[in-house]
Each structure stands twice: as structure tokens, then as C-alpha cells.
Structure 1
Amino acid sequence: MLILVSIIIFPYQKVAGILKWFCISLLVYIAVPFFTDVNWPLVFRSTIIPHVNWSKDYINALVAILGTTISPYLFFWQATMEAEDVQQRGATLIVDKRMITKMRKDVDLGMLFSNVVMFFIILTCGSVLYPHGIHQIETVEQAATALRPIAGDKAYWLFATGIIGTGFLAIPVLSGSLSYMFAETFNWKQGLDKKFFQAKPFYGVIIVSLLIGVLLNLIGINPVQGLLYAAILYGLTAPVIILVVLHISNNRSVMGPHVNGRWSNMLGGLTFILMAAAAVAMLYLQFTS
């Protein structure tokens, strides 16, 4: 309720100025394994030579991980936030070489940081929880609680702090992304910098989505399974969006002189092939196993 009221009443730039400090909480995931008994030689060996298993659960998890790495909602959120930030400063949006270089560094650092955090979360679950018989986690609270008898209160509070911090970050991003999708589809007035009366349908989607999220928790739907299924759907839809982005990025009538280079197209094409192959394999196993 606090976040909902804040993003409706105050300009999002002010809210973001506070919420961005919760990013620091992500660092706790990196710290947790160092408070536990981790077999580091095995971790390094398994990272370089991963175990691949041709099974439904394994491929489902692979598609989910790929889906959370390249999530479709990020395309909407990142683009609109960049545009609104420029408008808020009263500047004219000019895409030049300097701006593209700045955005590239921003994206590179963000992807590196998010994947490092994801690696350590997987490391904590795989090397700390699983060997101690914790194979099924229904809620994030259980994940934090499971660390207490194994690693003590320090790891428990670190993980719990990270969960709360990422929750505060995720609420406006996910609900706001959905609102931008609806607004662009139905040509509504949009923007978190708008007052409520200026963009009622836009803010209405945010309110409804947050209420649905609360109700899902109250009626007993497993949130962890819900996140997994959402990530799988991201993994299935992301290849289509990658193709659209590659098409736009190579269209000179849209991009002018800033079309993709050879390496960008090669990496983009490789990413598409990998994600499409994983999605096809998952669908194949769903119907054959």
C-alpha cells in the first residue's frame, strides 16, 4: 500500500531515488554462501562443466532461467523510463554516439550484476539447501528460514533482507511494465510522471495488478510456482521479441546510422537460437514425456 500510494502521488523519479538504494540489498545474496559451508572446488568445476539432463524438469528450469534473464517486460520498462527521464529534465531526446555508449555501459553493467546475483542465489540453493534435504520450497520465507539451522541467524537475516529489498524494487517495475503495455496497446495517456487524474486507466492497471498479486497470496496460490510458470512464459515469448528487436535494430528508416553491427547481430542471433531451441525442447518434452 505504501509503494502504491507513493507511485501514484509522487513523481516516480523521487520514488526511484529512494527505491534504488534497495539495490544494495542484492549484495547480500553474494554474501550468504560465505557464511555457509560451500565446497568451492566443486562449485568452480560444476560451473565450467555443468551437468546437463534431458528431462522435463531440467529443461523447464533452463527455459525459466533464460526467461528471467531476457524478460519481455524489461523491453517496455527500460525504453519508457529512459524517455520519461529525458522529458522530466525538459531536454530533447537526441540519440547520438555518446548516448548509445552510455546506454551500452548501463546495460552491460546491469546484466553482469544481475547474473552474478543470480549465480549466487543458485549456489546457495544448490550447495546449501539441497544437500541438507530441502528439495521443495513453497515460499521465499521458507528459503530464508531454511538457512537458519544450517548457517545461523546471519545468513537468515541477510537472505531475508535481500528478499524484502527486491520485493520493494519489483512491485513498481512489474506493475508499471504491465500498465505501459496496456497503455501502448489501447493508446492511453501514460507515464508515472503523470498525475492520477491525467492517466486514470494507466494507474488503474497498476492498482488492479497489485490487488490481484495480494489476493493470489491470500488464497493460498504457491508464489514460487507462480514465479516459475511466469518465467517459463517469458522464455517462450522472448524469442519472438528478440526477432522484433533485431528487425528494428537493423532498419535504417528507424535507426538511421545507428543500426546493429556484425557482432550485435551475431550475438543476438545466437541468443535467439539458444532460447528458441530451449523453448522447442520444452514443448517437445511436455507432449512426449
Structure 2
Amino acid sequence: MTDDKITVPEEAVKDPIERSWIRRLGPGLITGAADDDPSGIGTYSQAGAQFGFNLLWTLLLTYPLMAAIQLVSASIGRVTGKGLASNMRAHYPKSLLYGAVALLIVANVINIAADLSAMGAAMQLLVGMPQQFNVVLLGGLSVVLQIFVPYDRYARLLKWTALVLLAYVAVALIVPIHWGDVARAIVMPHFSLSSDYLTTIVAVLGTTISPYLFFWQASQEVEEMRSEPGQKPLRRFPQQAPAQLRRINFDTWVGMGVSNVIAFFIVLTAAATLHLHHIDVKTSADAAKALEPIGGRFAYALFALGIIGTGLLALPVLAGSAAYAAAGSFRWRSSLSLHLALARQFYSVIALSIVGGVAITFMHFDPIRALYWSAVINGVSAVPIMVIIMLLARNRHVMGEFAIKGPLAWGGWLATIAMAIAAVGLVVPN
């Protein structure tokens, strides 16, 4: 069998997802929503609490950059029918792949620990149970769901879990906000060359564009392809390309839009409350606690519930992306639709990532330091990974007639350059 066009029945070419716009939302929406994880909420809350409305403009900048690199990643998965790690293994030295994947897994485990810590603290605020008990409970629940719930149900569960992000829109509508000040800060923001201001910009950029999101969305496109009867890699079945590429484009722009809109509202809420009352926060749970005397019990409860909900959405993405990357590196069978007995190594990485995160929380680590080192590792690893992703996507031997070009290629390279600048900001002392 060659890599050329293959004739398939018309009913296999027709894409059922075109029947409903809701069905077009999947990997992109889940990826975007997972980006607003508890540690991200903490970063955005600190940005708003420290600088008020003056960093809202960063979320307008990150949206197109984030969408571009995620579109490139998703396209690689759907066109080739393989995840990023498998493609990297086929075209680049294994040492480069292993180093990138090792950094990804370390950063993900640290991020999982920070998320679990914030989720446990938020749950303690709401129900009073000990934080460490909550961490174990939530970590165990995430492992069980990923291993024992069939993929199609699990994907639907993650998609609807994204609705929890609306809690942050609701909070912003509850607290008093001077919208004229918001508009002025977006159009004419106050810039500063201070170390704290520049570091926070780097943190926001690093929070929105992270390597685990690239691996996850590319692998989820492969999962989606396998779960739909008649769907094949676009290189082999180009007849399916128009519908699938339209879906990926719609899904990714909506998903990254959701991510950045929610981040915008978190910064907005923190600026209108915490910054106004000169309240400093270190974690997302601190932000929830500080909201109660300002926005009332309802705003506080919504913010805390959002932390737990987004954490349950983010944990599978963090652990799953590590597992997909490891599986692609070592040619293990990898799919959330496979039974445990058929993909033991894949599910072992998922379980060990969560268990490792839980274990770190028992070390009573400083969450700010943990997030810092996670950001450093992500920032350092993101740049070479993004360069490889762009080279893969531009390579006709990999992508065939679907090699990216034009605005998408420029957008992907701009995102890569932005992350390179961010990485320099992270590793060079101020």
C-alpha cells in the first residue's frame, strides 16, 4: 500500500461532526480549558492583584500565538495519524527526543503537585476536610477515571467539565468593576521595566503556552480519528481533509479563546478586588479566601469551586500528555480507549505522574517555588520542542500536501520567538 490517495466509500468520507457545531468542539476545547488550571489561576490572580488592570493586554497577545502553535500541533496529529513524540522519534535523534520528554515529565509532575495542593486547599475551604486528605482523594479519583472510563465517555466528560470555567465570568459579574478603567488599561496600559512587571509578563506567557498542551492536543486528534469509524490519517485519505481541517480550526480557535477569556476574567477579578484593597496572594486558594470579605460568600465559593473543577480537568491533560510523550518515545501502545491490560506502560506513566504529584505535596513544598521551577523547565523545553514542531509541520515528507504555510506558519514561528524571549527572561537573572 502506498502513501497516495486511497478511494473510500462516500459515507466514510462524510464527516458526521458537521451535523452539529457542538460536536466540532473536542481536543481544542479541552486543551484550552485545561490551560486554566489551578496553578494558572494562581499566576493570573497574582498578575491582577499586583498590577491591577495593567496586564490585561497580555491575554490579547497570547490568544493568536497560543492558537497558532496549537493548530500546528493538532494538524500534525491529524495529518500523520501519530502523536508528536512518534513523529519526533521518526525524524530526529533519539537523544533530543528523550531529553525533551524527560523535561516535559518533570515539569508536568511538579505542575500536578501544585495543582493538587491548590485543589486540596480549595476543598478544605469549602468542606473543612484536611488538605492532604483532599489531595489524595482528588488524585486517586483522577487516576481511576483515566484508566477505567472508556475514552468516548471520558472525552465528553472533560468537554462538559470545561463549563466550570464560567464560574470566573460569574465572579467578575458579582464584584464591582469600573469598566471605563478596564477599557483605558487595555487601550493605554501602563508599562514598566521593573523586574516584577517583566517577570509577571513572562509568567503569563509561560502559563498560556506550555509543551504539555502541544503533546496532548496532537495525541487527542489521533484518539478522535481512531474513535470515528472510517476516519484515517489525512495524508492517506485527503478526501477527509476539508471537513477535518475546518473542525480543527474551529475547535482550536474556540478552545484557545475560552482559555484566554477565562484568564482575562481571573486577572480582571483579582485587579478589581485584591489589587484595589492591596491584598497580596501567593496561590489560587489564597485568592479565593481573600475574595470572601470583598465579593461575598457566593463569589468566594464560586472561585474555590472553579479551582477544584479546573484541576479535575487539568490533571488528566498533564498526566496524559506525559504518558503520550513517553509512549511515543518508546513505541508503547497508547490510547485512553485501550484496556489496562493492553497498555500497561502507558497507564503506568499516568498513574505514576499523579502519584508523584501527590507525594511532592507531602513534602510541604513552597508552591511559589514549585511553580517557578515548573515554569523554568517548561520555558526551557518549550523552545526546542516548538522549533521541532514547526520543522515537522513544514516538512512535506511528514505532512505531504498538508505542510503548513502562510499565516499559520508565520503565527507558529512568532509564538516560538515569543517563547524564546520568555525563556531568556526566566533563566537570566534580573
> Would you call these one fold, judging by a TM-score over 0.5?
yes
Letter of the 1:141 counterpart: A
**What residue in structure 2 maps to residue 112 of structure 1?**
257
Tell me, yes or no, if the aligned pair for 1:72 and 1:241 is still in contact at 8 Å. yes
1:79-105 CA deviation, whole Å, 9 max, x = no partner?
111112221234331421221121011
The CA deviation at 1:225 is 4.2
The CA deviation at 1:169 is 0.5
Tell me, yes or no, if the aligned pair for 1:28 and 1:162 is still in contact at 8 Å. yes
**What residue in structure 1 maps to residue 405 of structure 2?**
261
**What residue in structure 2 maps to residue 97 of structure 1?**
242
1:247-289 CA deviation, whole Å, 9 max, x = no partner?
12221222222222321222222222222223224433x1xx4
The CA deviation at 1:131 is 2.4
Tell me, yes or no, if the aligned pair for 1:140 and 1:163 is still in contact at 8 Å. yes
**What residue in structure 1 maps to residue 421 of structure 2?**
277
Tell me, yes or no, if the aligned pair for 2:376 and 2:426 is still in contact at 8 Å. no
Q: What SS does the aligned partner of 1:152 have?
A: helix
Query: What is the alpha-carbon distance in structure 1 between the residues aligned to residue 216 and residue 155 of structure 2?
Result: 13
Tell me, yes or no, if the aligned pair for 1:63 and 1:236 is still in contact at 8 Å. no
Query: What is the alpha-carbon distance in structure 2 between the residues aligned to residue 217 and residue 144 of structure 1?
Result: 20
Q: CA RMSD in A?
A: 1.9
Query: What is the alpha-carbon distance in structure 1 between the residues aligned to residue 367 and residue 155 of structure 2?
Result: 25
For CA contacts below 8 A with separation 6 or more, give which structure has more relative contact order.
2
Runs of 4+ with deviation above 4 angstroms = none
What aligned pairs does 1:158-177 form with structure 2 within 5 A after superposition? 158-177=302-321
Tell me, yes or no, if the aligned pair for 2:225 and 2:233 is still in contact at 8 Å. no
**Structure 1 pair 13/246, CA: closer, same or farther in 2 (3 Å)?**
same
Tell me, yes or no, if the aligned pair for 2:396 and 2:403 is still in contact at 8 Å. yes
Note the residue ranges of structure 1 that are not aligned, 5 or more in a row.
none
**What residue in structure 1 maps to residue 224 of structure 2?**
85
The CA deviation at 1:13 is 2.0
Query: What is the alpha-carbon distance in structure 1 between the residues aligned to residue 233 and residue 332 of structure 2?
Result: 25
**What residue in structure 1 maps to residue 341 of structure 2?**
197
Query: What is the alpha-carbon distance in structure 1 between the residues aligned to residue 307 and residue 257 of structure 2?
Result: 20
Aligned residue pairs: how many?
A: 285
Of 130, 141, 155 in structure 1, the residue corresponding to residue 275 of structure 2 is: 130
**What residue in structure 2 maps to residue 233 of structure 1?**
377
Q: What SS does the aligned partner of 1:50 have?
A: coil
Tell me, yes or no, if the aligned pair for 1:239 and 1:276 is still in contact at 8 Å. yes
Q: Which deviates the most, 44-53 or 222-231?
A: 222-231
**What residue in structure 1 maps to residue 32 of structure 2?**
none
Tell me, yes or no, if the aligned pair for 1:60 and 1:232 is still in contact at 8 Å. no
The answer on 1:62 being equivalent to 2:201 is yes
Query: What is the alpha-carbon distance in structure 2 between the residues aligned to residue 188 and residue 16 of structure 1?
Result: 22
Q: What SS does the aligned partner of 2:206 have?
A: helix
Identity between Structure 1 and Structure 2 (%): 39
1:89-124 CA deviation, whole Å, 9 max, x = no partner?
343314212211210111111111110101111112
The CA deviation at 1:207 is 1.3
Of 143, 165, 184 in structure 2, the residue corresponding to residue 4 of structure 1 is: 143
Of 209, 213, 218 in structure 1, the residue corresponding to residue 353 of structure 2 is: 209
**What residue in structure 2 maps to residue 186 of structure 1?**
330
Letter of the 2:275 counterpart: Y
Letter of the 2:303 counterpart: F
Query: What is the alpha-carbon distance in structure 1 between the residues aligned to residue 273 and residue 296 of structure 2?
Result: 12
**Structure 1 pair 55/186, CA: closer, same or farther in 2 (3 Å)?**
farther
**Structure 1 pair 277/5, CA: closer, same or farther in 2 (3 Å)?**
closer
**Structure 1 pair 274/3, CA: closer, same or farther in 2 (3 Å)?**
closer
Note the residue ranges of structure 2 that are not aligned, 5 or more in a row.
1-139, 235-240
**What residue in structure 2 maps to residue 51 of structure 1?**
190
Q: Which deviates the most, 86-95 or 209-218?
A: 86-95
**Structure 1 pair 19/270, CA: closer, same or farther in 2 (3 Å)?**
closer
**What residue in structure 1 maps to residue 173 of structure 2?**
34
Tell me, yes or no, if the aligned pair for 2:319 and 2:353 is still in contact at 8 Å. yes
Q: Which deviates the most, 229-238 or 190-199?
A: 229-238
